[in-house]
Chains A and B, each alone.
Chain A
Amino acid sequence: MNQGQIRCGRSLSRRDFLKGALAAGAVSALAGCVAVPSGPSPAPAKPAPAKPAEVTKVTFLIWGGEAEQKAWEARRQGFLKRYPNLDVEIIFPPGNYTEKLTAMIASDTAPDTFVSNNLRCDSQRKILLPLDNLIASDPDFDKQDWFPGGLDGGKVKGVQYAIPGGLGPQVVFWNVDFFQEAGLKNPNELHDKNEWTYDRMLEYSRALNKKEGNKITRFAFLPYTQWWTYIAGFGGEPFNADYTACYMDQPKNYTPVQWYADLWLKEHVAPLQEERGEFGSWPGFRDGKYAMFISGPWQQARLADSKYRWDIAWPPLQAGGRPLMNSGGGGSVIYPKSQKIQAAFKWISYIESAEGQAVWAGLGFDLPSHPSLVTDYIAGKFFTNPKAIPPSVRLWYKVVEASVKSPHTYITAQAGDLLNQAFSQINTGAATAQKAFTEVNKDVNTALNAC
């Protein structure tokens, strides 16, 4: 046998072998191009319900875990019922949402609709369609059924670019059993007497910490929420009205952050950075490792299975302080080059309509931002799990009325990074709030103006 030949029934030269392999490869490649459904044959399909001949389908890019995906599908089902001639393909990108959105826009495969996390910068990048005309001309859009200023969260320089989502007021979640055990009053009663201040919260925290020997087995407070909450609660104002100037170098803004950090650095009523891994995040409150924490309405569903009695309370407020609320700065938007603008608008206005938000609220996410839903919400009608309804559920909308907006969706990512790195030094005690924020303030001002 010559070199280069392979015995295989008959003599096969190397060239023949290569030709054969090439042909087989080409056939495989062609076969791969043919759209043949894989897997078992589908069962005989049920007769599909009659659908109008012309169905306009829009695309919607959004992030979300399993629970959110179910909630979005529930909203889609409601949308299909409401508009039988419209449909939506909801895309949940694996990995980073913003990267995927940017890549889709850059490759001219942008979705018709998506959720913008930063309207101020996205409007400058011209990837948002102004919605004012669409809102004005759509008879289905109920402009009256929004809390005063509710739609403003979707505006930039007076132009409506987004339909804002639900509301995320920050309240105190507190363990009723632990408070009673320590002989402490209901924080809401104190609030009604203007006595539920951060000073009082610190007193309560000292009473709620639990030790066994030298070891702390329960902390009074979980450092969970954004530190903006404390600045608002002390009456600070870290930015100007259009978020182009930062005032974190002023005592009224950095002092509350230092107070917050001292909860673990000085008082040790909250875990130090290095202790947080052991005590956990919100599951720690559910499991009795913390007596209170500050967060928003999405915690209700998570805490439903706690073996402890829990409730919500007003956030503590110093003189001149206001509660903080996640609201606006982002929302559902339309890509300006969409070929289906009318259908796209129907979708984004539907998901944030009273009907759409009711689905979302029912699964224990954001608070509906429509006055028409308030009565049913506080009556617990939307909750799919009755254990997720706190006794003081009525409180939510009282806090909404008193709240200021959280700045985190209004500032640029780089400004946020600079401030968070400054906070990380305060968090570990490596720098005081005054030093860390004063050092970084000038750079933050530059970053705020560079979308």
Chain B
Amino acid sequence: MPFFMYARQPVMPQNGRPNRLRTSTPRARGVLARREEREFYLFVSPWILGFLFLTAGPMILSLIISFTDWDVVTSPNWLGLENYRRLWNDLWNPSRLVLFQQSLKVTTIYALLEVPLRLAVNLFGAMLLNQKLRGMPAFRAMLYSPTVVPAVASAMVWIWIMLPHGGLLSLILNVFGLPDQRLLFDPATALITIIAMGLWGFGTGMLIFLAGLQSIPQHLYEAAEIDGASVFARFRYVTLPMLSPVIFFNLVTGVMANFQAFDGAFLITQGGPNYATHFYVLNLYNFGFRYFKMGMASAMAWVLFFIILAFTLLIVRSSAAWVYYEGEVRGR
């Protein structure tokens, strides 16, 4: 329901009886309603203004720019659909000058692997932290702390860990008689390494899972236990269905975030080796801010918007089959 319709809803008491305090006379109710309406708009106005000028405005502008050749400084030249045509052509005849197909391929593989892996790691972490043990707040703080480490700092740490010669991982491997590895320097393993590194900062999703786990009524587990359900069965038939709205939320936001992955490639690999980690948004950034082709960058942004929208709609559509809400009665 749009927000303005909420503002116009009559004040209805919880118990179904009229609220005498607030609706003593029709006139008073009108005055109160108008005041509340004004206050509503007053308080929501920063968000509306922010949305209009900082989100919707630039989005519309970028749509217009996507039909031009614009270097930010000089007047834009109208190209019509030329930028989109170049992207379409690159999808079938890839070129190093556009790198659309390559960057889309890298990003899709990344998202398809990273999203489920991250969900699994987040859920596992949350289940660990949901135990009733002494010192649990300290464990929670420790597991959440990677999330608050700045991307640049964590990139530097990962570079040091992954150094093929003298890096921490190599040193550990050497102890077991294994040779140095060159994960980030090999096109075959660079993307997988970036995915593994990305799993480190799993705190936010884990926290949401933890909140979801703690809201599952205990009596459901007790009932399952009485029925003889094993630990796995309780997880499969109680935890997962009850967590499905949280999984749904983390899945949608994860897909959105992973299609916009940028930090790892920008800070660690610069898209290499041999374009193996050339992410979509890194390509977009290069076109916009290094080559000053804002028209092409905007076209890429809009294509990405529709790709993410398509994945999101797919997940939303599929959610009817696997997301369960407490109190929901199916078939009505």
* Chain A residues with a Cβ under 8 A of chain B: 2-3, 15, 18, 22, 96, 98-99, 102, 105-106, 125-127, 271-275, 277-278, 412-414, 417-418, 421, 424-425, 428, 430, 440, 443, 446-447, 450-451
A-B pairs with lowest CB-CB distance, top 5: A274-B164, A278-B166, A277-B163, A275-B165, A443-B96
Query: Judging by beta carbons under 8 Å apart, are A430 and B73 in contact?
Result: no
Whether B72 pairs with A102 at a CB distance below 8 angstroms is: yes
Do A126 and B74 form a contact, CB below 8 Å, given A277-B163, A421-B274? yes
A127–B71 Cα distance when bound, in Å, is 11
The residue that B95 contacts in the complex, of A127, A271, A425, A443, with Cβ under 8 A, is A443
Judge whether B275 is part of the interface by a CB distance below 8 angstroms.
yes
* Sample of 10 A–B contacts (CB below 8 Å): A2-B21, A18-B39, A96-B289, A98-B290, A99-B289, A272-B165, A273-B182, A274-B163, A275-B166, A421-B96
B21, B42, B73, B187 interface centre (most CB from chain A within 10 Å): B73
| A424 and B39 in contact, given A126-B74, A274-B182 (Cβ under 8 angstroms) | no
Contacts of B185 in A (CB 8 A): 273-274, 428
| A430-B289 contact, Cβ under 8 Å, with A105-B73, A106-B73, A274-B164 | no
In the bound complex, do residue B73 and residue A421 qualify as a contact, i.e. CB atoms below 8 Å apart? Answer: no
The prevalent SS among residues of B at the interface is loop
Q: Determine if B96 and A418 form an interchain contact, defined as CB atoms under 8 angstroms apart.
A: yes
Let me know if B273 and A425 touch, CB within 8 A: yes
Closest CB-CB distance, A22 to chain B, in whole Å?
A: 8
- Asked if B97 and A102 sit within 8 Å, CB to CB, the answer is no
Query: In the bound complex, how far is the Cα of B159 from the Cα of A127, in angstroms?
Result: 38
Given contacts A105-B73, A274-B164, A424-B272, contact A414 B291 (CB under 8 A): yes
Do B74 and A278 have beta carbons less than 8 Å apart?
Answer: no
Q: Are A412 and B291 in contact (CB under 8 A)?
A: yes
Is the C-beta of B212 less than 8 angstroms from some C-beta in chain A?
no
CB-defined contacts of A275 to chain B, threshold 8 Å: 164-166
Q: Among B21, B96, B164, B291, find the residue whose CB has the most chain A CB atoms closer than 10 A.
A: B96
The answer to whether B73 touches A443, judged by C-beta atoms less than 8 angstroms apart, is no
Interface contact A278-B165, CB-CB below 8 Å: yes
Assess the A424–B274 pair: CB atoms within 8 A. yes
**Is A440 in contact with B96, judged by CB distance below 8 angstroms?**
yes
B74, A430: Cβ atoms closer than 8 Å = no
How far is it, in angstroms, between the C-alpha of A6 and the C-alpha of B96 when the chains are bound?
Answer: 66
User: Could you tell me the distance in whole angstroms from the C-beta of B190 to the nearest C-beta in chain A?
Assistant: 11
* CB-contact partner of A443 in B97, B163, B186, under 8 A: B97
- Using A98-B289, A414-B97 as known contacts, say yes or no to A274 and B165 having CB atoms under 8 A apart: yes
**Complex contact A430–B290 (CB within 8 A):** no
Q: Are A413 and B291 in contact (CB under 8 A)?
A: yes
- Contact in complex: A430, B273 (CB < 8 Å): yes
Taking a contact as CB atoms under 8 Å apart, the answer to whether A105 and B275 are in contact is no
B82 at the interface (CB under 8 A from A): no
In the complex, what distance in Å separates the CA atom of A425 from the CA atom of B187?
Answer: 10
Complex contacts, B180 vs chain A, CB 8 Å: 274
Closest to B291 in A: A414
Task: Indicate if the CB atoms of A413 and B290 lie closer than 8 Å.
Answer: yes
Nearest Cβ in chain A — how far from B226, in angstroms?
42
CB-CB under 8 A for A430 and B165, given A274-B180, A413-B291, A417-B286: no
In addition to A98-B289, A274-B182, A425-B273, 7 A-B residue pairs with Cβ atoms within 8 Å of each other are: A102-B289, A277-B165, A277-B167, A278-B163, A413-B291, A414-B290, A451-B71
Given contacts A2-B21, A274-B163, A277-B166, contact A102 B182 (CB under 8 A): no
Interface residues of B in 258-312 (CB under 8 A from A): 271-275, 286, 289-292
B274's partner among A102, A106, A277, A430 (CB-CB below 8 A) is A430
Contact partners of B273 in chain A: CB under 8 A: 424-425, 428, 430
Inter-chain CA distance A418–B286, complex, in Å, is 12
Expressed in whole angstroms, the Cα–Cα distance for A446 and B293 within the complex equals 15
What is the CA–CA distance of A22 and B45 in the complex, to the nearest angstrom? 13
Taking CB atoms, residues of chain A closer than 8 Å to B42 are 22
How far is the CB of B113 from the nearest CB of chain A, in Å?
A: 23
Among A2, A96, A125, which residue has its beta carbon within 8 angstroms of that of B73?
A125
Interchain CB contact (< 8 A) of A125 among B39, B71, B274: B71
Residue in B73, B182, B290, B291 whose beta carbon sits within 8 Å of that of A127 in the complex: B73
The answer for the CA separation of A18 and B36 in the assembled complex, in Å, is: 11
Residues on A with C-beta less than 8 A from B274 are 421, 424-425, 430
In the bound assembly, the distance between CA atoms of A421 and B270 in angstroms comes to 10
Per the 8 Å Cβ criterion, residues 167-185 of B in contact with A are 167, 180, 182, 185
CB closest chain-A residue, reference B269? A424
Docked CA distance A18–B229 (Å): 53
Which listed residue, A412, A421, A447, touches B272 by the CB 8 Å rule?
A: A421
Contacts of A413 in B (CB 8 A): 290-291
